[in-house]
Amino acid sequence: MSVIVLERHQPGREASWAAGGMIAYSEAGPHPQFRELARVSAEMYPEFVHRLQDESGVNVDFRSEGKIHFLEEGKAVPEGGTRLSEAELRQLEPQVEFSGEALLLQESTVDPRALMEALVKGALHLGVEIDSGADVAGLELDGNRVSGAITTKTRYTGQQVVICAGAWSSSLFDLRIRPVKGHMLEVIPQRPLRHVIHGNGVYIVPRSDGRHVIGSTIEDAGFDKRVNPDVIQRLHQAAAMLVPNLGEGLIHQSWTGLRPCSADKLPVLGATSLEGLFAATGHYRDGIMLAPITARVLAGTMSGEVPSFDITAFLPNRFAN
Ligand code: GLY
């Protein structure tokens, strides 16, 4: 297919840029189709990263050191979690304060900003065109069929159009997507962690260059992306209760992102009620993890293939009525 990406600002600078980058399929929750989607996507990741790095020449910092997860009271042990004794925890990650039941999960992480850089380079290399700098203002229709997209500058014709506008997706078609704000910060501690640490209402994601990303909040604030320094301080303190050394690390950067959240919090993937119009949005807290399976599902659906597993829970028309 001949593909053009219409991007308002710079590609990958919204929720993808703000993300922590955890491939956290064990936290997928009880929904069976979502669990399957997450599991398949996480399994695709090593090959996805390998191909992307090869195509783009960008290292996306794919790490598979695992995650130490402190179980909240009353919560079930996530799939694949192994309980750690205090001695085992101390051996794995000596800086972490033991606070309740600790589990080890074999999960990976990626640096989402590097991932986006690699995706843009890789896509351009494969012949994808990216036009940025103008808002997509609407869809061009020919009866009940989409025939293109109109930006504030020009119009594009296309036999198939995919809405992948994240938190802004509903401005183009009623997909019941709203923004859910999250605050994040980055510190560079003197002694780095090896594992992702999750507990006390925060997660800490170490990168190989020494940066540690700490997140996040879940806020209903519309499209307001302002950073509240008090919220950043609270996240930093919560992380320092788990890893005291992080409290001494200076805050290097702080930011917010707007997660695209659908009415039932599940992704919105596949064909819409308008012929030729597809959606790939609503990934909420799991957009980075779900990138490879989203690409596979959309490419398959748009080529007329029957998906190899059940995606009915994610179809855009589930919100009709
Ligand atoms: N996936 C991490 C977050 O939404 O905060």
Query: Over the chain, what HEC string results?
Result: CCCEEEECCCCCCCHHHHCCCEECHHHCCCCHHHHHHHHHHHHHHHHHHHHHHHHHCCCCCCECCCEEEECCCCCCCCCCCEEECHHHHHHHCCCCCCCCCEEEECCEECCHHHHHHHHHHHHHHCCCEEEECCCEEEEEEECCEEEEEEECCCEEECCCEEECCHHHHHHCCCCCEEEEEEEEEEECCCCCCCCEEEECCEEEEECCCCCEEEECCCECCCCCCCCCHHHHHHHHHHHHHHCHHHHHCCEEEEEEEEEEEECCCCCEEEECCCECEEEEECCCCCCCCCHHHHHHHHHHHHCCCCCCCCCHHHCHHHHCC
Nearest CA, atom 3, ligand 1? 285
Nearest CA, atom 1, ligand 1? 285
pLDDT computed for residue 28 by the predictor: 84
CB 217 within 8 A of CB 155: no
From the CA of 20, give the closest atom in ligand 1.
2
Q: How far is the CA of 235 from the centre of ligand 1 (A)?
A: 13
Within 10 Å of residue 32's Cβ, how many Cβ atoms? 11
Q: What is the pLDDT of residues 48-75, one digit of tens each?
A: 999 999 999 999 999 999 999 999 888 8
Q: What is the pLDDT of residues 167-217, one digit of tens each?
A: 999 999 999 999 999 999 999 999 999 999 999 999 999 999 999 999 999
Q: How far is the CA of 30 from the centre of ligand 1 (A)?
A: 17
The candidate with the shortest Cα–Cα distance to 183, out of 167, 160, 153, 203, is 203
Please list every protein residue whose CB sits less than 6 Å from any atom of ligand 1: 20, 22, 182, 215-216, 259, 285
Q: How far is the CA of 20 from the centre of ligand 1 (A)?
A: 6
What span, in angstroms and rounded, lies between the C-alpha atoms of 304 and 298? Answer: 10
pLDDT computed for residue 309 by the predictor: 81
Q: How far is the CA of 112 from the centre of ligand 1 (A)?
A: 12
From the CA of 287, give the closest atom in ligand 1.
1
Give the distance from CA 30 to its chain's centroid. 19
pLDDT computed for residue 321 by the predictor: 60
Pocket test of ligand 1: the residue of 69, 184, 198, 203 to mutate, having most ligand atoms within 8 Å of its CB, is: 203
pLDDT computed for residue 237 by the predictor: 97
Quick one: tokens of 212? 């540690």
Task: Spell out, as residue ranges, where the chain has pLDDT lower than 70.
Answer: 321
Q: How far is the CA of 183 from the centre of ligand 1 (A)?
A: 10
Q: How far is the CA of 126 from the centre of ligand 1 (A)?
A: 30
Q: How far is the CA of 17 from the centre of ligand 1 (A)?
A: 12
From the CA of 22, give the closest atom in ligand 1.
1
pLDDT computed for residue 14 by the predictor: 97
For the whole model, what pTM was predicted?
Answer: 0.95
pLDDT computed for residue 282 by the predictor: 98
From the CA of 286, give the closest atom in ligand 1.
1
